[in-house]
Structure 1
Amino acid sequence: MLSRWSFAATAEEVADAMSAVESPVLWWPAAFLRAEVLEEGGLHGAGAVVRFLSKGWMPHTFQFVLRIREVDVPWRFVAEARGDFTGWMRCDITNDGPGTIVDCEWHVSVAQPFVRSFSPLVRRAFVRNHRWVMRRGEEGLRLEIERRRSGGLAASMDYPRPTFPHNLGWWNDRIAWKGWTESWERAAMRR
């Protein structure tokens, strides 16, 4: 699925805000609940492996590992996903007059057994859920660019928050990494 984001910012500002591989937890907390760098990458994060715990508008969570496959700062990055999502994503950043366009394309399938069994029945809901997540990402990245321009602190920004029950502090404190993911995490790190 393709999502197009538009910013009144330079490509460099957008790429800077997106540059730390674990940064979506800061500016996209509506979708990215946790991140852990499993393997440091090289220049601009190329080769990095990061484990994410994510969610959308619906209450279920997904755990997956992203390996950054290609980085061409500030124009593109490509990553491979393994875990509850399997596939790839790509973000292309282009100048658009005084602003910047970001095209984020996700080609993933749901591998989480419980959710996957319902996929054919609730496909439309999954598509809406994905679009909701991507709108929160655009809002959050816009705020992050503003924060960086003003030299402000992240705590002062009103980033889009996750939906119930993950919007409850005590709930998030209980979230732990799923132990059964070790096999595909090791496989992602070997590639």
Structure 2
Amino acid sequence: MDWNRYRFRTLWSLPAAPTAVYAVLERPEDYPRWWPQVRTVTLLDDRTGVFTIRSVLPYAMNVTARETRRDPVAGVLEIAMSGDLDGWARWTLSADGSGTLARYEQVVSVNKPLLRVLAVPGRPVFRLNHRLMMRAGRRGLVRYLEAV
């Protein structure tokens, strides 16, 4: 087993139509407005940006994200990541009654040296840290959607 490789899957039930959710998620430069753990996003061009992310644990991750798929009809946004994390992440949105079911999938390998050293004992804590970040992201997105 590669202790530095992670696969995450999170489902968010959101009280807004898929088109409204998609319109927010396709604008990564606005993520820091509603997702507290996304500290900064610096766009490099119309398909690439650098994200600084920090959750509960006292370390930040710097990731360059490059859009690999943008399909509003299918409700899919996908990126390739490099930097402190290498891999990919994908949002897939579908109608769920009057709202949206947002599926977030991520497969990454950790490159940050300290996290690699702590891979075995830290793995459960790193997974919890990710869950807490995703929970806060959902709460922030719900508030943001209600405000717009």
Q: Report whether the alignment pairs 1:26 with 2:33.
A: yes
Which structure features the higher share of strand residues?
2
- The offset of 1:86, in angstroms, is 0.8
Give distance in 1, aligned partners of 2:142 and 2:107. Answer: 24
Shift of 1:54: 0.6
Structure 1: how far apart are the matches of 2:78 and 2:147?
Answer: 26
Q: TM-score, normalised by structure 2?
A: 0.91
Q: CA deviation at 1:21?
A: 2.4
- Mapping of 1:109-120 within 5 angstroms? 109-120=109-120
Aligned residue pairs total: 140
Partner of residue 35, structure 1:
41
CA shift at 1:101, angstroms?
Answer: 0.3
- TM-score, with normalisation over the residues of structure 1? 0.71
Which SS does the other structure have where 2:121 is aligned? coil
C-alpha RMSD of the superposition = 1.0
2:98 corresponding residue in structure 1: 98
Matching residue's letter, 1:14: V
SS in 1 for 2:139: helix
Q: What is aligned with 1:176?
A: none
Moved over 6 A (4+): none
Match of 1:76 in 2: 76
Answer 1 or 2: higher relative contact order, Cα 8 Å, separation at least 6.
2
**In structure 2, the residue corresponding to 1:23 is in which secondary structure?**
helix
CA distance in 2, matches of 1:111, 1:94: 33
Deviation, 1:19, is: 2.1
Q: Aligned residue for 1:62?
A: 61
Structure 2 gaps of 5+ residues are 1-7
Percent identical: 28
Could you tell me how far 1:15 is from its partner in structure 2? 0.8
In 1: Cα distance, 2:100 partner to 2:45 partner? 30
**5+ long unaligned stretches in structure 1:** 41-47, 149-191
The match for 2:10 is 3
Return the index of the structure with the highest Cα Rg: 1
